[in-house]
């Protein structure tokens, strides 16, 4: 059974890996610009996820601890050494935990005592800095919250700790999640591990870059309009935006409350599935969290060896026509079309579909998100929250604290949102945007009636240069066109690396976005896992990691 992808732009950025002796395929030459790299795409792996697929860092760590081949202290020390070594170049973290090694030593004591290990024991997790942590600053990437330490953990963080995870630090982001490159951070700009002159995406760029550079095992981000999926594509990692309500938002700093979700990053589908299992489920502290049962996402992932030659036979896939047309880089289109062809090889029934309301999503999103932000960010006034600047009249304290604490992008979105909600303009902007949102939701429902999943690029381009779009906010906003509709519809979406385009020292990764019906994350992960395993010889490991 052959699982070759007909993509002339796909490269192998690391060493050539040998094919398994059984079910082998013929090698082929894969071109990348003027260079060539000899590579082969393999048949399915021999192990199931349950028995420990090597691509799962979480399962590998667990196996090492249970077999006592390695200690949690050794593993934590290795990650921390790498984190500190590359951090001056990448700048993924705003704060690094001072207690990570002590927590790793506690795991070692559990192992020595023969106690049962929780599922994430010894696993180092990065947490986006707009998600509250009781033992570390939580700034939201904003100077107005510089030094702020919450009195509680976000529910997602609490569940991580209960599962044995070690929170290694807080990752950089665009201020309060408002941006697509981390250039809007109040503190620093994160670099892409594939090319240090390029952005990692945003707003969860720090979380994506940290996983890509192997500074941590997995990480949490937040996704309001694509802030997990776009950086996952730019950094060559797996990114999951769950259904709205699947993961509690308690402890997530609100940007646009009807759109915000907490999502996951990992270097494999298995790791993302395990992480999502831990943080999902109803939370009485969040009235919008769903009471639906949470499937065991990881245990539903099955090796291709246990399936037939067409493991996705009959799965109906809709390629969204509006996402591969004008305004999308040719290399990105080529990579996504090759991925679509690969899904056909796996047995899927591929159809090109149209979402007539797709182009309306971007303006509707920015009106709705800005409107909600103008309300949510009113709490940062220098008195209830945030650093106080000035004294005297109350209005003066408010004005000086917000003027000095907020960055330009945040101020602009607050003004946009306030204008859209003001008397005389509410019906023309906010109300109409809500009507468009309803239209988008209907379009997706209709598309899902005829298809099991939808696919598209995660972004119209690969990672661009730092500073390239800072003076052109409309061009920056246009980069969200592939992702915002999914948030408006409240659906889950997964991004899995699917290929490369020219750029940087070893090419730039491209991500395939896979969309499913509400609360069908298990379908996304199953499809993504099969897709990923057939690409196991295409190592999405940046040159920076290989050099350290």
Query: Which domain CATH number covers 505?
Result: 3.90.1300.10
Q: Read off the pLDDT band of 309 (50, 70, 90).
A: confident
Q: Is the per-residue pLDDT at 53 higher than 80?
A: no
In a domain, 263, yes or no: yes
Pick the residue with more confidence: 45 or 426? 426
* pLDDT score, position 1: 36
pLDDT digits (tens, 9 = 90+) for 210-223: 999 999 999 999 99
- The model's pLDDT over 361-387, given as tens digits with 9 standing for 90+, comes to 999 999 999 999 999 999 999 888 888
Whether this model's pTM surpasses 0.85: yes
Is residue 338 domain-resident? yes
**pLDDT at position 247 over 60:** yes
Say how many C-beta atoms besides its own lie within 10 A of residue 258's C-beta: 16
Instruction: List, in sequence order, the alpha helices (H) in 346-406.
Output: 361-376, 394-405
In the DSSP assignment, the letter for residue 403 is H
Q: Does residue 484 form part of some domain?
A: yes
DSSP 335-362: HHHHHHHHHHHTT-EEEEE--TTGGGHH
In a domain, 30, yes or no: no
Of residues 17 and 260, the one with the higher pLDDT is 260
Mean pLDDT of 386-413: 91
The pairs formed by 285-288 with CB atoms below 8 angstroms and a separation of 24 or more are 285/155, 285/248, 285/250, 286/155, 286/248, 286/249, 286/250, 288/244, 288/245, 288/249, 288/257
**Token pair of 34 as six digits:** 């003027």
Nearest to 252, CA basis, from 131, 426, 381, 431: 131
**Domain containing 442: what range?**
57-362+429-534
- Is 405 domain-assigned? no
Phi, psi of 252 (to 5 degrees): -90, 125
pLDDT at residue 545, as a whole number: 63
The separation between the first and the last C-alpha atoms of the chain, rounded to the nearest angstrom, is 37
pLDDT value at 5 more than 50: no
Q: Is residue 17 part of a domain?
A: no
d(CA 101, CA 75): 10
Please check the confidence at residue 30 and state whether its pLDDT lies above 60: no
Residues designated catalytic: 128, 203, 227
Q: Which of 254-258, 379-383, 522-526 has the lowest mean pLDDT?
A: 379-383
Among 31-35, 129-133, 539-543, whose mean pLDDT is lowest? 31-35
Q: Is residue 393 part of a domain?
A: no
User: Residue 409: is its pLDDT beyond 60?
Assistant: yes
Backbone angles phi, psi at 310, to 5 degrees: -125, 75
Name the percent of the chain in helix, strand, coil, to the closest 5. 40, 15, 45
The number of domains in the chain is: 1
Highest mean pLDDT among 14-28, 159-173, 307-321: 159-173
Read off the pLDDT of each residue in 308-319 and give the average, rounded to a whole number. Answer: 93
Q: What is the pLDDT of residues 64-103, one digit of tens each?
A: 999 999 999 999 999 999 999 999 999 999 999 999 999 9
Residue 113 structure tokens: 């005592």
% of the chain with per-residue pLDDT over 90: 80
Whether residue 180 contacts residue 174, with contact meaning beta carbons closer than 8 Å, is answered with yes
Is 242's pLDDT higher than 70?
A: yes
Tell whether 356 is covered by a domain. yes
Q: What is the pLDDT of the chain when averaged over all its residues?
A: 89
CA dihedral (94, 100, 101, 102) positive or negative: positive
β-pairing verdict for 124-128 and 166-171: parallel
Alpha-carbon span 361 to 381, nearest angstrom: 31
For residue 32, pLDDT beyond 60: no
């Amino acid at each position: 059974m052959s699982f070759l992808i007909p993509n002339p732009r796909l490269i192998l950025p690391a060493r050539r890996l040998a094919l398994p002796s059984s079910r082998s395929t013929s090698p082929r030459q894969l071109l990348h610009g003027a260079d060539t790299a000899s590579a082969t795409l393999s048949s399915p792996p021999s192990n199931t996820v349950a028995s420990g697929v090597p691509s799962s860092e979480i399962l590998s760590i667990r196996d090492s601890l249970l077999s006592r081949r390695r200690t949690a202290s050794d593993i934590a020390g290795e990650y921390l050494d790498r984190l500190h070594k590359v951090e001056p170049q990448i700048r993924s973290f705003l704060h690094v935990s001072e207690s990570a090694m002590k927590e790793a030593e506690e795991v070692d004591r559990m192992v020595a005592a023969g106690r049962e290990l929780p599922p994430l024991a010894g696993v180092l997790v990065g947490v986006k800095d707009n998600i509250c942590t009781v033992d570390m600053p939580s700034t939201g990437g904003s100077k107005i919250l510089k030094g702020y330490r919450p009195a509680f953990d976000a529910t997602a963080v609490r569940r991580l700790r209960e599962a044995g995870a070690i929170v290694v630090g807080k990752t950089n982001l665009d201020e309060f999640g408002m941006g697509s490159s981390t250039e809007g951070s109040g503190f620093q700009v994160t670099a892409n591990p594939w090319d240090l002159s390029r952005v990692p995406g945003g707003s969860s760029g720090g979380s994506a870059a940290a996983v890509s550079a192997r500074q941590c095992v997995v990480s949490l981000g937040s996704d309001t309009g694509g802030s997990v999926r776009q950086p996952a594509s730019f950094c060559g990692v797996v990114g999951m935006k769950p259904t709205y309500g699947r993961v509690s938002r308690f402890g997530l700093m609100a940007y646009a409350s009807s759109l915000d979700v907490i999502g996951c990053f990992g270097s494999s589908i298995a790791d993302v599935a395990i992480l999502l299992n831990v943080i999902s489920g109803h939370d009485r502290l969040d009235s919008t969290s769903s009471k639906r049962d949470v499937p065991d996402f990881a245990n539903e992932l099955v090796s291709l060896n246990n399936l037939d030659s067409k493991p996705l036979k009959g799965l109906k896939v809709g390629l969204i026509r509006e996402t591969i047309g004008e305004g999308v880089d040719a290399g990105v289109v080529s990579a996504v079309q090759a991925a679509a062809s690969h899904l056909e090889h796996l047995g899927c029934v591929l159809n090109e579909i149209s979402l007539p309301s797709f182009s309306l999503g971007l303006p509707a999103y920015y009106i709705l998100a800005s409107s909600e932000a103008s309300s949510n960010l009113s709490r940062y006034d220098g008195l209830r929250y945030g650093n106080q600047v000035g004294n005297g009249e109350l209005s003066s304290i408010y004005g000086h604290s917000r003027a000095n604490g907020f960055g330009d992008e945040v101020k602009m979105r607050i003004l946009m949102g306030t204008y859209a909600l003001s008397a005389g303009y509410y019906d023309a902007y906010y109300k109409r945007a809500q009507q468009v949102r309803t239209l988008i939701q209907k379009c997706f429902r209709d598309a899902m009636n005829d298809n099991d999943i939808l696919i598209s690029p995660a972004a119209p381009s690969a990672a661009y240069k730092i500073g390239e779009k800072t003076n052109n906010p409309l061009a920056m906003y246009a980069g969200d066109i592939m992702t915002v509709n999914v948030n408006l519809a409240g659906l889950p979406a997964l991004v899995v690396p699917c290929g490369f385009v020219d750029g940087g020292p070893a090419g730039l990764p491209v991500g395939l976005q896979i969309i499913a019906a509400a609360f069908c994350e298990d379908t996304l992960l199953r499809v993504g896992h099969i897709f990923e395993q057939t690409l196991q010889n295409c190592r999405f490991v940046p040159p920076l990691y290989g050099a350290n």
